[in-house]
Amino acid sequence: MTDTTVQSNAAQASPETVMQEVVAWRRHLHQHPELSFHEHETARFVQEQLQKLPNLTLSRPTETSVLAVLKGTAGPGRTVLLRADMDALPIEEETGLEFSSQNPGVMHACGHDGHTAMLLGAAKLLSAHPEQLHGEVRFIFQHAEEFFPGGAQQLVDAGIMDGVDVVVGEHLMSPVPTGVVAIQGGPLLAASDGFELTVQGKGGHGASPHQTIDPVIVAAHIVVALQNVVSRQLDPMDTAVVTVATIHGGNAKNVIPDTVTLGGTVRSFDENVRQELPKKIEQIIKGVCDTFGATYTLKYQMGYRATVNDHDVARELQEMAREVLPEVQVVQGKPQMGSEDFSAYMTKAPGTFIAIGAGGPGAAPHHHPKFTVDERALEHGLKLYVGAAKKLTQPAK
């Protein structure tokens, strides 16, 4: 679409005054959630807010994403991409909040409403003072993080990372106490792959199992045998998870079915391990099926890559976080087996993904009908976005 350069003047604002708008934006977005690849009204709302700000060049790199570009006037420097995701989940909300979802069966159950609001606040603060920035800041409001193949890869393919030197993302975390921010280099989130397996046997009467090739028995052996991939076929220093999460077969208690289907997820951090896992999994499946005389069809889908934070960028952000959030505890986080399509940006530039405490013990987990965030954490995310832009756009040392 055609870029629009915004020329209007914005009122002077501080993080404290902008916070009222950030909370209001978050609540509006929470009330009007949209699923992945359907964020039409969300993108329209975001663009409308950005159009009120000075010095931004706006574009729509995909139908339901928004990109704003701000050029600093303090001199040459690095180009930094700040990312927020915007999509919601197919969950019926049960929080009882006065600003609960108005869209039946759709809910912001992962904090993306807060991410979008925090980045809008950062755009407002930074766009009013381009003289405080070197280089260039790109604000990407991304669609479809929750649904593979993900919006991040589409945006990378659209060219938004061309010329970017550093990329930064943030995520509100309900299990982490408010007042804690985790920033560390190295592996953070796992690659997320999946498989769908159909075991083909020979059905028959449950009273005559000797006349069948029972795919239920074959499937049971496969489930148990797959646990050996991690426990006995990987280096103990490597980390992976193989989970069989679904099994479907048969519809009568006295009938052995012809087929059983299984589905699962595979998580890993190291790319070499990731590429070996499908081979090891299929080797076990084939061996079990051959033993019992069954056949199989395996569909294996490579999903999001592992999110691995750059050590140098993480170090710069740790220093910044302690400066702009002296009241907050900045810690080294631990790798988690969850996944994020933020990793797509890191194929083009080094970056760091920040975890922001927004709850604590007893808080509902992500993707839960009662999920919510402590809105005090929104100010932490806002200041981190602003601080990251100011620090990382400075010329590389």
Instruction: Examine the residue annotation and report whether 3 is marked as an active-site residue of this protein.
Output: no
Q: Using CA atoms, how far apart are residues 30 and 33, in angstroms rounded to an integer?
A: 6
- Cα dihedral across residues 168, 151, 197, 247: positive or negative: positive
Cβ neighbours of 54 (radius 10 Å): 16
Locus of tokens 């570009």:
69
Beta bridge partners of 189: 307, 336
Angstrom CA distances, 70 to 46, 51, 135, 352, stand at: 16, 13, 9, 20
To the nearest 10°, report the CA torsion of 252, 253, 257, 259: 90
Angstrom CA distances, 396 to 165, 347, 388, stand at: 10, 20, 14
Residue of 93, 145, 341, 374 marked catalytic? 145
Q: Using CA atoms, how far apart are residues 43 and 64, in angstroms rounded to an integer?
A: 6
Residue of 87, 113, 214, 379 marked catalytic? 87
Sheet holding 56-59, edge to edge: 4-5, 56-59, 66-71, 136-142, 79-85, 166-177, 351-359, 180-182, 329-331
Instruction: Examine the residue annotation and report whether 87 is marked as an active-site residue of this protein.
Output: yes
As annotated, the active-site residues are 87, 145
